[in-house]
């Protein structure tokens, strides 16, 4: 690792030394659904199947985990994809008059 940089002093001498690369991988984000008292369990399962490509078994397991523990991770995505998932879940839920909330945090 390291890239070479040429540094010149006041005498015109040139030295070559390594500098630390400053590029970091962009962070990934967990998309998290939150429990509430009103959204039907079937609707949450359908959301997980539709927007997170889960099968019925996995969607049911995650839904029940959210129901009992309060929150659960639906998946881990780049920032753009995570933002889109959150918006899709919340828009779709609003359209069906359910208060389901969804959020994201750095993984
Ligand atoms: N607690 C809801 C109920 O009893 C079910 C539910 C599960 C709601 C998961 C939201 O993210 C959720 N109908």
pLDDT tens digits, one per residue of 34-92: 999 999 999 999 999 999 999 999 999 999 999 999 999 999 999 999 999 999 999 99
Asked whether 44 lines ligand 1 (CB < 6 A), one says yes
Residue among 30, 34, 26 nearest 107 (CA): 30
Ligand 1 contacts CB of residue 66 (under 6 A): yes
CB of 41 closer than 6 A to ligand 1? yes
Max CA pair span of the chain = 76
Is any ligand 1 atom within 6 A of the Cβ of residue 33? yes
Q: Could you tell me the pTM of the whole model? A: 0.82
Residue 32's pLDDT is what?
98
The better pLDDT of the pair 3, 25 is held by: 25
Q: Ligand 1 mean position to 46 CA, how many Å?
A: 12
Locate 103 and state its tokens.
Answer: 């959020």
State the average pLDDT over residues 16-20: 65
């Amino acid at each position: 690792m390291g890239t070479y940089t040429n540094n010149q002093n006041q005498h015109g001498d040139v030295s070559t030394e390594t500098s630390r690369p400053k590029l970091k991988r962009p962070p990934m984000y967990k998309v998290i659904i939150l429990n509430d008292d009103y959204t039907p369990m079937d609707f949450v399962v359908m959301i997980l199947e539709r927007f997170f490509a889960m099968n019925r078994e996995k969607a049911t397991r995650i839904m029940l985990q959210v129901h009992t523990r309060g929150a659960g991770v639906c998946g881990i995505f780049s920032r753009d994809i995570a933002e889109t998932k959150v918006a899709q879940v919340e828009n779709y839920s609003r359209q069906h008059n359910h208060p389901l909330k969804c959020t994201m945090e750095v993984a």
